């Protein structure tokens, strides 16, 4: 952690703006717990990435939330490139005072210099490649290969450091751990696949029952989402519908769990967000 922090802080000296990448489906769980401390007050643009997989209504709520917290924020889909071209303009907008001062002094302002930061799998490389318009091979990450910092041009207004700042995810918060596992940000070896699918099913029953029931042809909606048996019954029904059966008509719950998680991650259950700004975060006025 100290090393990761130091590496990013070394890079901060070279840049004008930090571009903090979050997963639009879990903006708080995908946020490094020490990011404010690490970025030391650098101007910042928050990007809600993977917006193509997230519930658009909740994404808008998150945009409002971060704006209310004083941040500039934009939602993008780095895979297809949707809204990625708005990033350089946004970065320039955040730095407009600094740029205006340079112009007033008769200087010709150079392109804004940025560093993309975020936890693993949030889409940092995908976004860098999108902004660069080509695939950037991060040779600097391989042992034995040395190279200096390279600047990548993202149009005329923005330059990026080619290697992003890798932040660590939240380790201590169990709910965040499950959300990270459901979205595939942390590997299943750390948590049990049945437990991750149980967590996902509970969230889906609570927030997205119509989509869930339609996809798998489910009939009886649980009356109490805190009742473990009712959630497991939903998982078993999904398993039965998908032919995950073992001897004696028993449902292979592990197989059913795999199906639920694969479908969710691939967007087959629709656009799903697993946390909303106001549900279990510190209370604030709605």
Q: Which residues bind ligand G4P (CB under 6 A)?
A: 49-50, 52-53, 77-79, 118, 120-126
In angstroms, what is the minimal distance from the CB of 82 to ligand G4P?
8
- Closer of 83 and 98 to ligand G4P (Cβ): 83
228 is an annotated ligand-binding site residue: no
- Best CA proximity match to 256, nearest among 269, 243, 274, 272: 243
Distances in Å between the Cα of 25 and the Cα atoms of 62, 118, 151, 239, 255 are 10, 15, 30, 25, 24
**Is-contact 30 48, C-beta < 8 A?**
no
Asked if residue 36 belongs to a known ligand binding site, the reply is no
State the Cα–Cα distance between residues 86 and 82, nearest whole angstrom: 9
C-beta of 179: minimal distance to ligand G4P in Å? 15
d(CA 181, CA 200): 9
* 165 annotated to bind ligand: yes
Instruction: Determine contact, residues 152/113, Cβ cutoff 8 Å.
Output: no
Which one, 43 or 120, has the nearer CB to ligand G4P? 120
Q: What are phi and psi for residue 224, nearest 5 degrees?
A: -140, 110
Please state the closest distance from residue 40 (CB atom) to ligand G4P, in A: 22
Strands 112-118 and 158-161: parallel
Nearer to ligand G4P by Cβ, of 167 and 253: the residue is 167
Give the whole-angstrom CA distance, residue 93 versus residue 74: 13
76 labelled binding-site residue? no
| Total H helices, total E strands in the chain | 11, 7
- Residue nearest to ligand G4P as judged by C-beta position: 123
Residue 263 is assigned to a ligand binding site: no
Q: How far is the CB of 130 from ligand G4P (least distance, A)?
A: 8
Nearer to ligand G4P, 126 or 198 (CB): 126
Residue 52, annotated as binding a ligand? yes
Compare residues 21 and 231 and give the one whose CB is closer to ligand G4P.
21
Closest distance of CB 183 from ligand G4P, Å: 9
Reading the block at residue 215, the tokens are: 């996809």
| Binding-site annotation, residues for GTP | 49-52, 121-126, 165
Binding residues: 49-52, 121-126, 165
């Amino acid at each position: 952690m100290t090393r990761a922090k130091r590496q990013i802080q070394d890079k901060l000296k070279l840049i004008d703006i930090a571009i903090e990448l979050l997963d639009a489906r879990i903006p708080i769980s995908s946020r490094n717990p020490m990011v404010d401390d690490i970025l030391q007050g650098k101007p910042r643009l928050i990007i809600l990435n993977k917006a193509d997989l997230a519930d658009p209504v909740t994404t808008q709520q998150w945009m409002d939330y971060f704006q209310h917290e004083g941040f500039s924020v934009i939602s993008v889909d780095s895979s297809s490139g949707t809204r990625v071209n708005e990033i350089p303009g946004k970065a320039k907008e955040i730095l407009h005072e600094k740029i205006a001062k340079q112009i007033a002094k008769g200087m010709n302002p150079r392109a804004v210099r940025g560093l993309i930061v975020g936890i693993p799998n949030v889409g940092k490389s995908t976004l860098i490649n999108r902004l660069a318009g080509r695939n950037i091979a991060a040779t600097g990450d391989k042992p034995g290969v040395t190279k200096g910092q390279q600047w990548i041009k993202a149009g005329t207004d923005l330059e990026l450091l080619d290697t992003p700042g890798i932040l660590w995810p939240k380790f201590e918060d169990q709910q965040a751990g499950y959300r990270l596992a459901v979205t595939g940000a942390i590997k299943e070896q750390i948590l049990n696949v049945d437990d991750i699918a149980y967590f996902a099913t509970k969230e889906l029953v609570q927030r997205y029952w119509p989509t869930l029931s339609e996809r798998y042809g489910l009939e009886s909606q649980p009356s109490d989402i805190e009742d473990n048996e009712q959630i497991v019954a939903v998982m078993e029904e999904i398993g039965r519908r998908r032919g995950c059966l073992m001897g004696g008509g028993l449902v292979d719950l592990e197989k059913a769990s795999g199906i639920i998680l694969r479908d969710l991650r691939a967007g087959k259950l629709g656009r799903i967000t697993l946390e909303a700004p106001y549900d279990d975060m510190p209370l604030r006025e709605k």
